[in-house]
């Protein structure tokens, strides 16, 4: 792990420039060390960052104005943070422990489940976002003073709203000035919520964040992260040590069970129930079912079924047997069709019939175009694709020309 001195981007060298740059560097280094130490104690021994990350996960500071208050995880670059001046105040993602810990959560999940990166399923994207928010929650709880503040604020009712449940308070303020509908009332997303599980295909593309959930993964993720906060509170209560050390222990147990569930869950459209079922299995295997009631209570409150679609047992991450499914380029203003890779078993060539998983991949691509998240470059010959979605949206996916085949291919660039 490494943190690039932000002063480099200003044409200076080293982390010894004064003021803001120095603060950004020290702050990010501190957050990354704390978050990495926590996750190093949770992931299986021998785990390393994704192969494309070159062994060292870096944090980059993009200091250009007007990039939005955001950050992303990129397999090549590592973590990239941006900022924007809002109402005369410079708000920078690199200052936020929540946002940096969230992006590191994407990197951790990608290290143990690289196959989720290009799964092309909306609920899997939402789980990645939930995992990022949970990473911010759990790594925040490694600070003794913050644990005491949470215990005081909630009077020991950990499932209630607190400094660690309110994800991105400062960034949330900035978004509220620019796009009030896209964040909650007091933060970007609050893990203390009552949103319930529904098939993601039945939800609208976007809704006001404070009021309801939508297909946007940053919105739908709150169903799972809300259940996880409930589970964390259940572990804390079960262990009957109602102090800072008890809360620290609960954060370790809950993180361990989450990691086991995430590592073994099979790729499926209904990914929340799949992870939930595997977390219950993990609790039985590690703790003899000690936290089963806490898990079931948490999932039931958020109406996440914990029955599996697939057989029990681990789904070892690895290269899946993928085939290309072709999507009509004309629908998106492209002169050529483009390929999306989907699991081979989900697509029957012989019957020329698209499976539910293939339809889900089509819907996944369509949602991204509608939200302006696909970079098409010179392939957009009619300008139609550029006109889709809000201006300035960060492009998480792209359509590139495959160097070997010369054909167009749809891929992910990063998680934001």
Binding site for Zn ion (CB under 5 A): 129, 132, 415
Do residues 122 and 217 make contact, with C-beta atoms less than 8 angstroms apart? yes
Give the residue closest to Zn ion by C-beta.
132
Q: In this complex, which beta carbon is closest to Zn ion, that of residue 193 or of residue 216? A: 216
Closest distance of CB 14 from Zn ion, Å: 30
Closest distance of CB 339 from Zn ion, Å: 26
Q: In this complex, which beta carbon is closest to Zn ion, that of residue 21 or of residue 135? A: 135
Q: Which residue has the tokens 């595997």?
A: 278
Q: In this complex, which beta carbon is closest to Zn ion, that of residue 132 or of residue 234? A: 132
Do residues 75 and 64 make contact, with C-beta atoms less than 8 angstroms apart? no
* CA–CA gap between residue 213 and residue 29 (Å, rounded): 34
Q: In this complex, which beta carbon is closest to Zn ion, that of residue 61 or of residue 415? A: 415
Q: In this complex, which beta carbon is closest to Zn ion, that of residue 110 or of residue 274? A: 110
Do residues 220 and 227 make contact, with C-beta atoms less than 8 angstroms apart? no
Closest distance of CB 81 from Zn ion, Å: 12
Contacts of 262 (CB under 8 A, 6+ apart): 109, 112, 113, 127, 131, 275, 278
Closest distance of CB 416 from Zn ion, Å: 6
Closest distance of CB 273 from Zn ion, Å: 21
Q: What share of the chain is helix, strand, coil (3-state, %, to 5)?
A: 45, 15, 40
Closest distance of CB 324 from Zn ion, Å: 27
Closest distance of CB 415 from Zn ion, Å: 5
Q: What is the DSSP string of 313-346?
A: S----S---EEEEEE-GGGGT-SS-EEEEEEGGG
Count of positions (residues) in the chain: 416
CA within 13 Å, CB half, 321: 4
Q: What is the DSSP string of 24-35?
A: HHHHHHHHHHHH
* CA–CA gap between residue 249 and residue 367 (Å, rounded): 40
Distances (CA, A) of 37 to 3, 107, 164: 15, 14, 18
Q: In this complex, which beta carbon is closest to Zn ion, that of residue 136 or of residue 254? A: 136
* CA–CA gap between residue 280 and residue 283 (Å, rounded): 5
For strands 83-86 and 78-81, give the pairing.
unpaired
Closest distance of CB 106 from Zn ion, Å: 6
Q: In this complex, which beta carbon is closest to Zn ion, that of residue 7 or of residue 221? A: 221
* CA–CA gap between residue 382 and residue 216 (Å, rounded): 27
Q: In this complex, which beta carbon is closest to Zn ion, that of residue 57 or of residue 325? A: 57
Do residues 285 and 316 make contact, with C-beta atoms less than 8 angstroms apart? no
Q: Please provide residue 85's backbone torsions phi and psi, each rounded to the nearest 5 degrees.
A: -85, 125
């Amino acid at each position: 792990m490494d943190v690039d001195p932000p002063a480099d981007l200003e044409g200076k060298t080293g982390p010894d420039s004064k003021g803001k740059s120095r603060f950004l560097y020290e702050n990010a280094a501190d957050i990354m060390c704390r978050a990495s130490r926590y996750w190093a104690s949770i992931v299986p021994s021998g785990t390393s960052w994704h192969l494309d990350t070159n062994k060292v996960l870096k944090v980059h500071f993009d200091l250009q104005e007007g990039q939005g208050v955001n950050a992303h995880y990129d397999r090549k670059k590592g973590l990239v943070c941006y900022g924007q001046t809002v109402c005369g105040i410079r708000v920078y993602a690199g200052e936020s422990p929540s946002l940096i810990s969230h992006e590191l959560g994407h990197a951790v999940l990608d290290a143990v489940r690289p196959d989720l990166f290009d799964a092309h399923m909306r609920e899997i994207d939402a789980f990645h976002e939930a995992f990022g928010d949970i990473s911010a929650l759990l790594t925040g709880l490694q600070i003794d003073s913050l644990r005491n503040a949470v215990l005081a604020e909630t009077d020991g009712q950990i499932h209630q709203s607190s400094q660690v449940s309110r994800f991105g308070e400062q960034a949330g303020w900035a978004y509220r000035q620019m796009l009030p509908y896209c964040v909650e009332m007091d933060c970007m997303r609050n893990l203390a919520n009552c949103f319930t599980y529904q098939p993601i295909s039945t939800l609208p593309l976007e809704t006001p964040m404070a009021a309801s959930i939508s297909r946007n993964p940053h919105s739908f993720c709150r169903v799972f992260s809300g259940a996880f906060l409930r589970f964390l509170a259940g572990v804390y209560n079960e262990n009957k040590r109602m102090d800072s050390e008890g809360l620290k222990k609960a954060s370790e147990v809950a993180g361990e069970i989450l990691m086991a569930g995430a590592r073994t869950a099979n790729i499926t459209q209904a990914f929340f129930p799949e992870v939930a079922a595997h977390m219950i299995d993990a609790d039985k295997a590690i703790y003899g079912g000690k936290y089963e009631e806490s898990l079931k209570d948490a999932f039931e409150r958020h109406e996440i079924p914990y029955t599996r679609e697939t057989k029990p047992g681990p789904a070892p991450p690895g290269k899946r047997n993928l085939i290309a499914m072709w999507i009509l380029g004309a629908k998106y203003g492209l002169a050529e069709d483009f390929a999306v890779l989907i699991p081979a078993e989900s697509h029957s060539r012989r019957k020329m019939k698209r499976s539910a998983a293939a339809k889900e991949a089509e819907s996944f691509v369509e949602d991204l175009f509608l939200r302006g998240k696909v970079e098409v470059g010179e392939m957009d010959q009619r300008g139609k694709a550029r006109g889709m979605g809000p201006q300035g949206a960060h492009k998480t996916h792209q359509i590139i020309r495959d160097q070997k085949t010369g054909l167009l291919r749809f891929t992910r660039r990063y998680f934001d």
